Amino acid sequence: MRWKVLGAVVFAVVIVVFTLANSSDVSVNFVFARERVNLVLVILLSVLLGMVLMAILWSIHAWRLRGEIRARNRHIAELEAKVQSMEAERAASAREVGQGPGAHGAAEANPPQSPDSAW
């Protein structure tokens, strides 16, 4: 954050020095009129308009990104809900398989044996 502030200050100082070095009057054609304006005002107005335009464009970009993030979060929530329902279905089917006729008794009647116990 400090580097951004420092960069903005350095940029502002460069703009001020540049505009003070170019303080003569220039002729500007506004399509409907021609005026003599101080070059400093032309430069500062151009910089200001450029900053406003970039802020608008960045806001549009950020708005689109926020929309994309919301859409992806909704998709993640849907997928998590599917995973939970599939896990519940799997647990239910495992209970059904384990509770079938004779399945519980058969498992207890023939417990698994280790290879060493066979000898």
Cβ neighbour number for residue 58 with a 10 Å cutoff: 10
Lowest mean pLDDT segment, chosen from 3-7, 65-69, 95-99, 101-105: 101-105
Residue 34, helix vs strand vs coil: strand
Residues 6 or more apart whose CB falls under 8 angstroms from that of 103 comprise 97
Lowest mean pLDDT segment, chosen from 12-21, 52-61, 99-108: 99-108
Is residue 48 a contact partner of residue 41, using CB atoms and an 8 Å limit?
no
Residue 89: pLDDT over 90: yes
Residue 59: pLDDT over 60: yes
